[in-house]
Amino acid sequence: MSSLQVRHDWKRAEIEALFALPMNDLLFKAHSIHREVYDPNEVQISRLLSIKTGACPEDCKYCPQSARYDTGLEKERLLAMETVLTEARSAKAAGASRFCMGAAWRNPKERDMPYLKQMVQEVKALGMETCMTLGMLSPEQANELAGAGLDYYNHNLDTSPEYYGDVITTRTYQNRLDTLSNVRASGMKVCSGGIVGMGEQATDRAGLLQQLANLPQHPDSVPINMLVKVAGTPFEKLDDLDPLEFVRTIAVARILMPKSRVRLSAGRESMSDELQAMCFFAGANSIFYGCKLLTTPNPEENDDMSLFRRLGLRPEQARNSNPALDSLEAEEALLAKAAAHQDKAEAQFYDAAAL
């Protein structure tokens, strides 16, 4: 009998009951649902590039890009087109099927829209899926980006409505929901998740997932970030979250949103291989891949592929990939490319949790 249910009417008590299950029962339930929808040994890989870094006017307490905190981050202007395309080509060669571009803005300015649309078109011409995260979008801006061919738009809810005011005061929860609504209405796919380990309670983690699962359509991608504590931000000295609570969050997200890709996102650098393996078993089937997520570290590309090999996982192939290249050749090419770029410290990758 199928255990798959696609619902948009989850009650908080139901979700808290899932979190309270014995771990073995929770993992069995989540993994069983995962296998019904996805190949359990395939992981979608995205690459993330900051196209404009720092000087954000928002006060998100976790974010090193906020102009309000002294984190030593140097602000940068929008990257040149050829720089973006060089990084996109490198990402594709290293096995990424989706290229995500992020700017540290409250919202994009109208003067930037033509350049952003050209960027989308140029990256898509390489045969990759495209994603952007630029802050809040008006309906008109969402339609413009959709018209340029943007596939995904990322805008995280971050936490529960009840805890949100302890994290951010410069934009409201409704602002975030409105942007997601504008993105959906434009026809783009929604990428939206949150951050755990920000001092929230267990009920807040349930509340975050409730908000995501009860959207009119489940997000196509759900990034679950573990807080990366950055010196100079208000959250730099918070206690670490129990890693098993992170696994529980992944598992419950998989149960509530069975057809969404659940992305193991920021914080992987501090996660053991065993913890990541539990997350993949619990239903995570997407990662951000590369040497950095902007200012926060991420496991090196070849470390990721080494873990994939040990776990018997394989990268999901891009839709426009070469069918003559079988999975073994693809993995070997990926490892070779990753080794060649291991010391490329200038590549700046954006943390989706930062907007």
Respond yes or no: is residue 191 known to be catalytic: yes
Catalytic residue among 98, 131, 254, 261: 131
Beta bridge pairs of residue 99: 47, 130
Respond yes or no: is residue 100 known to be catalytic: yes
Respond yes or no: is residue 291 known to be catalytic: no
Respond yes or no: is residue 279 known to be catalytic: no
Buried b (16+ CB within 10 A) or exposed e, 29-57: bbbebbeebbebeebbbbbbbbbbbbebe
What DSSP letter does each residue of 178-203 carry, written as one string? HHHHHHHHHTPEEE--EEE-SS--HH
Catalytic residue among 47, 254, 263, 268: 263
Q: Pairing between strand 292-293 and 296-297?
A: antiparallel
Asked if residue 219 lies in contact with residue 191, where contact means CB atoms within 8 angstroms, the answer is: yes
Question: Rounded to 5 degrees, what are φ and ψ at 347?
Answer: -65, 125
- Environment class of 59 (CB within 10 Å of its CB; exposed 0-12, middle 13-18, buried 19+): middle
Catalytic residue among 98, 100, 176, 291: 100
Catalytic residue among 176, 191, 254, 279: 191
Question: Whose structure tokens read 């065993």?
Answer: 274
Asked if residue 94 lies in contact with residue 318, where contact means CB atoms within 8 angstroms, the answer is: no
Catalytic residue among 60, 176, 261, 314: 60
Asked if residue 351 lies in contact with residue 228, where contact means CB atoms within 8 angstroms, the answer is: yes
Distance CA(339)–CA(334), nearest Å, equals: 9
The DSSP 8-state label assigned to residue 321 in this structure reads S
Asked if residue 131 lies in contact with residue 153, where contact means CB atoms within 8 angstroms, the answer is: yes
Rg, the chain, Cα only: 19
Question: What residues are labeled active site?
Answer: 56, 60, 63, 100, 131, 191, 263
